Amino acid sequence: MRLLVVEDDPDLNRQLVTALGDAGYAVDRAFDGEEGHFLGSTEPYDAIVLDIGLPKMDGLSVLENWRRAGHAMPVLILTARDRWSDKVQGFDAGADDYVAKPFHMEEVLARLRALLRRASGHASSELSCGPVRLDTRSGRVAVDGNPVRLTSHEYRLLSYLMHHAGRVVSRTELVEHLYDQDFDRDSNTIEVFVGRLRRKLDCDVIQTVRGLGYLLAPPEEPR
């Protein structure tokens, strides 16, 4: 999953990016409204963390412009304003959730997990496909109840496929959603990680759809 953090406070921006990165997300950052608006308009983010009080262009204007342009990614508002009227303004502008500063980082992470689940049609924090289970809260993966250790890139790939199980996901989509702007996006990288993931899971849940991409689906029952 690829996220964008738009926050003008350098320390808070760094803390958010670090926490989200440690939680297994690919994260881009912006420090003002104009840069954030541009990135959110041109890059396919799975969710955005947006401060309201931004220089150059305030967060509500950024959000309203995204929504008018038809960008539907989930947006979590961060702001020092805690009056109910400010919350109403944020939701009316198109926000999906709201956290007032100061906040606990775990709350931000939990709210983002919920937004990402809802955006892909999942109600539970535990995602499953056949014998594979992925707990989005703990980051743990198991096959038939047996834990499987994954690298951060392998986990990120599996998580994206699990959130979009039953749908063919192209290699281009995976590249766009798994890596931040600064990552060297070699065209062979996805194939390498899919191969490693298949070997570690040791079950036929990741199917290659020739010419289209990959499909995560339960293994077919033997006839």
Query: Which 3 state secondary structure label does DSSP give 84?
Result: helix
pLDDT score of 223 more than 50:
no
The residue that leads in pLDDT, 118 or 219, is 118
In what helix (H) or strand (E) does residue 128 lie, and over which residues does it extend? strand 126-129
Q: Which of 180, 205, 186 is nearest to 129 (CA)?
A: 205
Name the pairing type of β-strands 213-216 and 132-135.
unpaired
The pair of structure tokens assigned to 73 is: 């990614």
pLDDT of residue 188: 73
Cα 126 to Cα 122: distance, rounded to the nearest angstrom: 9
Name the pairing type of β-strands 140-143 and 146-148.
antiparallel
pLDDT of residue 176: 87
pLDDT tens digits, one per residue of 159-185? 999 999 999 999 889 988 888 776 666
pLDDT tens digits, one per residue of 39-71? 999 999 999 999 998 999 999 999 999 999 999
pLDDT tens digits, one per residue of 108-158? 999 999 999 888 888 788 899 999 999 988 889 999 999 999 998 899 999
Residue 212 carries which DSSP code? Answer: T
CB neighbours of residue 194 within 10 Å: 19
Q: Which of 183, 67, 171, 47 is nearest to 115 (CA)?
A: 47
Share of the chain above pLDDT 90, in %: 65
Average pLDDT of the chain to the nearest whole number: 90
pLDDT tens digits, one per residue of 188-216? 788 888 999 999 998 889 999 998 999 99
Q: Which of 179, 153, 177, 154 is nearest to 164 (CA)?
A: 177
pLDDT of residue 199: 94
In what helix (H) or strand (E) does residue 160 lie, and over which residues does it extend? helix 152-163
Share of the chain above pLDDT 70, in %: 95
Q: Which of 50, 15, 25, 46 is nearest to 35 (CA)?
A: 50
pLDDT of residue 31: 97
Full-model pTM: 0.83
Show Cβ contacts of residue 104 under 8 Å, excluding neighbours closer than 6 positions.
none
Give the mean model confidence (pLDDT) for residues 4-14. Answer: 97
End-to-end CA distance of the chain: 36
Domains for the chain: give ranges and CATH numbers: 2-119 (3.40.50.2300), 126-216 (1.10.10.10)
- 55 — phi, psi (to 5°)? -75, 160
pLDDT score of 86 more than 90:
no
Q: Which of 3-7, 85-89, 123-127, 180-184 has the lowest mean pLDDT?
A: 180-184
Give the mean model confidence (pLDDT) for residues 79-102. Answer: 85
Angle at 179 between CA 139 and CA 167, to 5 degrees: 70
